[in-house]
Amino acid sequence: MHELKLMDVWKRYKDKDAVREVDYTFTNGVYGLLGENGAGKTTLMRLICGVMQPTEGKICCDNLEISGMGAEYRKLLGYLPQEFGFYPDFTAERFLRYMAALKALPKDDAEKRIEELLTMVELKNVRRKKLKTFSGGMLRRIGIAQTLLNNPEILVLDEPTAGLDPKERVRFRNIISSLGKDRIVLLSTHIVSDIEYIADRILIMKNGELIQEGTEAEIIEKVKGHVWKCIVSEKEAECLGQRFIVSNMRSNGENVELRVISEKQPMREAELLDGTLEDAYLYETQSTEET
């Protein structure tokens, strides 16, 4: 088991602090990094993968600074970048062989590993199809298989669920859950439901900062007593929408049922509801004057 420790990590681009003051320690498990576009997720992941150096602070793996570990660290690491480049004319199998060669895997090991991975990501029956014929979900799965070739103990996946349909999301979730048992898995997303149930811990990023961290239950606990059901007219709904965070809205033609997040009761008839991770995420990341 490895310990990956970020100590007061900052990354500055010219005049922008993309990552600010991040202190965090990862051990085995699945970590979901949640944040809006521009929150700093990709930058943080690049720092963790050693693709970029922090402007300030240190990142250590088992107490050694990763920048000094070189190949030793890369051996532990699997990284699926947000923009994952592939070779359209390669077949799935050839692509994995090629990537295995780049990672300097011995040939026999590579063949065995490719078999295992094609089974795991359920692409065995299309192994001889060219990647240009693959759907978004199939490409994501081959991308994940590629990151797993060297059996990495630290796996970093940047928005791995982007472009997946609901069925593919379920399949993806099952793959990730099985991987988190004996390694560090960090995956980013801006879609809350993608990490619900699979992340052991959830990290919420906003404006480059880690503003919240905990298990799903711990994070939901923070929104307890602040989620309200309001049944109102269309006109009132519009008014509430301007004053409060509204996490859901359903109209039945006559009335509108709103799910409002507010520390104070938003209106007299409002009833308290149980919070969800989505509610908690909105509560942490959206701020309005009223809350």
Ligand X SMILES: Nc1ncnc2c1ncn2[C@@H]1O[C@H](COP(=O)(O)OP(=O)(O)O)[C@@H](O)[C@H]1O
In the complex, the residues that contact ligand X under the rule CB under 6 A are: 13, 16, 18, 35, 37-43
Q: Are strands 184-189 and 29-34 parallel, antiparallel or unpaired?
A: parallel
Give the type of residue at 178. Answer: S
The two structure tokens encoding residue 185: 């898995």
Size of the site for Mg ion (CB under 5 A): 3
Closer CB to Mg ion, 41 or 201, in the complex: 41
Residue 36: CB minimum distance to ligand X, A: 7
Residue 284: CB minimum distance to Mg ion, A: 19
Residue 21: CB minimum distance to ligand X, A: 15
Q: Which of these ranges, 8-16, 74-82, 137-145, 242-250, lies near Mg ion under the rule CB under 5 A?
A: 74-82
Residue 25: CB minimum distance to Mg ion, A: 22
Residue 45: CB minimum distance to Mg ion, A: 8
* CA distance linking residue 138 with residue 122, whole number of Å: 9
Contacted by 40, from Mg ion, ligand X, none: CB < 5 to 8 Å by type: ligand X
Burial 177-212 (b: 16+ CB within 10 A, else e): eebbeebbbbbbbbebebbeebbebbbbbbebbbeb
| Block residue for tokens 């349909």 | 165
Residue from 42, 146, 212, 285 touching Mg ion (CB under 5 A): that is: 42
CA torsion sign for 205, 78, 5, 51 is negative
Contacted by 96, from Mg ion, ligand X, none: CB < 5 to 8 Å by type: none
* CA distance linking residue 71 with residue 246, whole number of Å: 48
276 counts as binding Mg ion under rule CB under 5 A: no
- Site residues, Mg ion (CB under 5 A): 41-42, 82
